Structure 1
């Protein structure tokens, strides 16, 4: 690192610094609190650790201020520690700029060479295939039979951790357990940690304790022909994302080595940051994928990996979750689920009108699945709320099935 700690010699990307998305992890060192700066994409092999005071300063690194303006605003007399912090953040790839881009390119090259994303959330039940299958089968046996005999073209399944979410997962997948094996499974999830503002499709498979999940190469090739690289620019967003991977064990257990099409769908009420054609919005993606699937033929099962409300102090609310709050959340959830059952556009409009007060994370995934699957009807199988004992966090989930229209 250069010994020059003046702001005048900073490269352009550090002179007006913009921090990448970081997850602070509290750590204790010699009885003192520090924060580990966790990069969801793991661009660096090591984690940078800073004192809490430094993390507070980092909140100003949002691309709107120059370093000199930050120095003035914070009444800093010696800029050297600030410059040193910036250079160290850059070294770890935590600031937007050439260093970060080079680390991203390196990570992408590693993934392409491997041919698949490493197992992450798919290891939630351990790594022994026999143990995993036994647990999934037990949960499927415990789930209530939906009693639905009509052909099913799609599911809404949660992406809550298995400990809390397994009854809803099992309710969804039991409904298709005895049905015909699909030619492919389209899984649409949420982009919890990534940076892309458009739809992000994976052209790489996914490793799992049950084996590698392949992507549908034919569908991916057609998507690339129609959109170029726009759908794949932010593929690193799939690296830390659990909403896709948590569905894969169930898909593998029931259908074996079926290929998948995995995409992260943004909230349609937020839209793209820049209307420059560099990314693909939800409706354009739906139109293109619909054409591609029609051209490819075969039977497709659509899965919306969706959690509903997030309430309580863990999600920014002031009060702990009590019975009254649970009733309020359920009333809102049921109103929005009714809208979804009526039509995907009604769900999107309802969320726009109410401003999504309970922070549904998967409006885009649900709406897109319904538009692609074109069901004759949607039926609610199960609805649940997971609340911790202290009432700090509530997450609601639902199992729903999309019935296939007569052809």
Structure 2
């Protein structure tokens, strides 16, 4: 079978970001190719051998070069794999672009992201509210008398993270209702290297939290499409959705501005002006909020250290490693409390040795909220029984 009639983008196939999921059928192992953006309603499934072949699909090798390197006697199965991947939108090119355009159009027509991580407590509003209220009651009262302009909390699953969520949200539970919430998260699975803002709202079992349309108008006027071009990065993003229920429980369906903020230590991959960096985002959002007026609550959805074999470290986590991580975390939190710039400088100097994932969200929240001081409420480490993974997080308040 010849490659001459293949579409140009299939001549040198380039695989989009996917997440393999192990499946089993009739005592055989397969891999489901999970697309974070969910461009297709169905998931493509391949045998492990095909997944190994896909590692060569980096856009640099031609089909013939891949076949030669793998010493394939018959090129037909390779061509079939490439064409099927393209059909599912898993290769870069016009097919995935068309599927992206369709997904964006559906999203715009609906006006909100469908409930995803917000369904992790089920779909019964009464049950959800009862659970959130129970966790709030269990959290220690930090006895903050000053006005609070923002909080830092985690984006762990509720099973591991509920004490940190609750200690953060308890500090504002009896405070005045804000006019809007600026919710800053981390882009775990998406492709955008700049700030990614959602111009639609978020559905959950507690209702629909709308976007603050007037603030979005200001942002669009200032940046054009740049903040919104990678909006599909929000589809799989839990760091935003896991906070939606807490905000709805306390304040109802108030307007939200949700943004995924990159690591300012890393910066943009290109300076071609196609995306918005953290500095520009803080400047334009600050102006938009000033123009709109009212009271804004800032929420930084932030996990900190990620250590252990699950994150590439050789040894299981023991007590000594936990102490080392806590020492580092507390040193970095001290820098953060002193100044967001000092946290960035510290992470840059040390090359972020424990893989904090939310420096962008934390520092942007402080630069926007301009608090008089920051107070640490709680610090925790979530570790699995096997010592395979440790994720640390903290509850903090930004005082007016």
Correspondence 1:373 to 2:369: yes
Match of 1:179 among 160, 175, 178: 175
Pairwise CA distance, 1:257 = 2.1
Q: What's the CA shift string for 1:17-51, capped at 9, x where partnerless?
A: 11111000001122111100011111111111111
Pairwise CA distance, 1:235 = 0.6
- Residue 40 of structure 1 corresponds to 36
Q: TM-score, normalised by structure 2?
A: 0.98
Gaps of 5+ in 1: none
Off by >6 Å, runs of 4+ in structure 1 = none
SS in 2 for 1:222: helix
SS in 2 for 1:176: coil
Match of 2:83 among 65, 83, 87: 87
Aligned-partner Cα distance in 1 for 2:56–2:340: 39
Aligned-partner Cα distance in 2 for 1:267–1:69: 37
Aligned-partner Cα distance in 2 for 1:254–1:224: 29
Backbone CA RMSD of aligned residues: 1.0
- Residue 2 of structure 2 corresponds to 6
Correspondence 1:319 to 2:318: no
Correspondence 1:74 to 2:70: yes
Pairwise CA distance, 1:357 = 1.4
Pairwise CA distance, 1:189 = 0.1
Aligned-partner Cα distance in 2 for 1:6–1:388: 51
Aligned-partner Cα distance in 2 for 1:335–1:7: 57
Match of 1:302 among 271, 287, 298: 298
- Residue 250 of structure 1 corresponds to 246
Aligned-partner Cα distance in 2 for 1:177–1:258: 15
Aligned-partner Cα distance in 1 for 2:253–2:44: 39
Aligned-partner Cα distance in 2 for 1:374–1:159: 23
Correspondence 1:280 to 2:272: no
Pairwise CA distance, 1:294 = 0.7
Pairwise CA distance, 1:64 = 2.6
- Residue 99 of structure 2 corresponds to 103
- Residue 340 of structure 1 corresponds to 336
SS in 1 for 2:79: helix
Number of residue pairs matched? 400
- Residue 189 of structure 2 corresponds to 193
Aligned-partner Cα distance in 1 for 2:363–2:62: 41
Pairwise CA distance, 1:52 = 0.9
Aligned-partner Cα distance in 1 for 2:342–2:3: 52
- Residue 115 of structure 2 corresponds to 119
Aligned-partner Cα distance in 1 for 2:70–2:195: 38
SS in 2 for 1:7: coil
Tell me which moved more, 76-85 or 195-204.
76-85
